[in-house]
Amino acid sequence: MPPADHRMRGLTLINACSMEGAPLALSRLKGASIETTLVVSTAEISDLTKNLAQSTLQEAYELIDTVEAIPAVIENLMDQPTAPPSLYIDLEGVKLSRQGSISILQIHVAPQNKSYLIDIHILGSKAFNTAGKLDHTLRSVLQSESIPKVFFDVRNDSDALFSHFQISLAGIVDLQVMEYATRTFRKRFVNGLSKCMENDLDLSYSQKLECQRVKEEGVKLFAPEKGGTYEVFNKRPLSDAIGLYCVQDVRWLPALYQTYLRKVSSTMSAKIARATLDRVKESQSPFYVGHAEPSDITPCMRALNGRDWSANAASWTTRTSSAPIMNVKGHGGS
């Protein structure tokens, strides 16, 4: 099947700008509880969220599924400031790992509140190797130490990129590591994205409803236990429900970054940078196994349990020298 024309896909999103300084964003909320004094039926909730969606801001993501569209994306990415990080990234695929495949690469450009969905299923290696001005490519952006890129649990994403396209990520910020380091209670396991959303962002009732709706509609299409299939990420044209599911995974990340950054000192930032670099190295190891069950924390993670959490801004990249490989297996982000 020939690739579809490059286009803007309009999606209706809840305006999440009610949080001070936070960009419009949606996220995965797994089992999120919505506290309310209203007693409503499931049908009434569905009607309410549809009405809310129709009455709020029209937002768009840009689907990149032609080689001709890539140079403009690269140019835009290269033009973004690096402090704080501008690029927030996630991947979706069929059993995303060295054993599976990559379907979509999502990039949220925070200063522009703009999201790209890059169709790796259609473009393959051309998505990473097509050059823009000055011969920059998506590969060179992902491998650049000087361009910070924020992920939530980078391990399986890094595994898939390294195994299938020989991309060695650099300049990585891992929000899961940041969250773990800044927790004030006993830490045995890392948290998934849904739990971080519930615990650390002050979402309004309408935002929670919309996040829950988007989550449920996506899960219904890809989760086998719900009658779906992960192959839906490779079905073209990409459905709006899956597109929106992909977008919401990255749009909350800037707000989480700011939340955790406020809790971190310069000393702690160096430890987190080392732990993040270890995660990237771990994911490239021949012995790495993605999608494993959680395990007890390692000595490397225990090093993040210090109490020097004064609120100083810090540089979050993986250029720090290496430390012992960390093998904590996180809860799923979905």
Q: pLDDT tens across 126-144, in order?
A: 999 999 888 999 999 999 9
Amino acid 11: pLDDT: 38
Which of 27-41, 49-63, 146-160, 176-190 has the highest average model confidence (pLDDT)?
146-160
pLDDT band of residue 292 (cuts 50, 70, 90) is: low
Taking 50 as the threshold, does the pLDDT of residue 13 lie above it?
no
User: Which CATH number is associated with domain 7-305?
Assistant: 3.30.420.10
Contacts 24+ apart (CB under 8 A), 104-110: 104/233, 104/238, 104/246, 106/246, 106/247, 106/249, 106/250, 107/73, 107/77, 107/250, 108/247, 108/250, 108/251, 108/253, 108/254, 109/76, 109/77, 109/80, 110/23, 110/84, 110/85, 110/86, 110/254
The full set of domain ranges for the chain reads: 7-305
Angle, CA of 180, 160 and 279, to the nearest 5°: 30
Contacts of 258 (CB under 8 A, 6+ apart): 21, 22, 84
pLDDT tens for residues 46-68?
Answer: 443 344 343 333 366 999 999 99
Q: Three-class SS of residue 42? A: helix
Residues 6+ apart with CB under 8 A from 80: 86, 87, 109, 111
Residue at 96: amino acid letter: L
Lowest mean pLDDT among 40-44, 67-71, 193-197: 40-44
**DSSP symbol at 279:** H
List 11's β-bridge partners, or say none.
Answer: 59
**Among the listed residues 37, 44, 149, 138, the one whose alpha carbon sits nearest the alpha carbon of residue 86:** 149
pLDDT digits (tens, 9 = 90+) for 80-126: 999 999 999 999 999 999 999 999 999 999 999 999 999 999 999 99
Confidence at residue 228, expressed as pLDDT on a 0 to 100 scale: 93
Which tokens belong to 133?
């001005």
Q: What percent of the chain stands above pLDDT 90?
A: 52
Least confident range from 64-78, 119-133, 236-250, 301-315: namely 301-315
Name the 3-class secondary structure at 72. Answer: helix
Number of H helices, E strands in the chain: 13, 7
> pTM of the predicted model, to two decimals?
0.75
Read off the pLDDT of each residue in 148-163 and give the average, rounded to a whole number: 96
Backbone angles phi, psi at 275, to 5 degrees: -65, -35
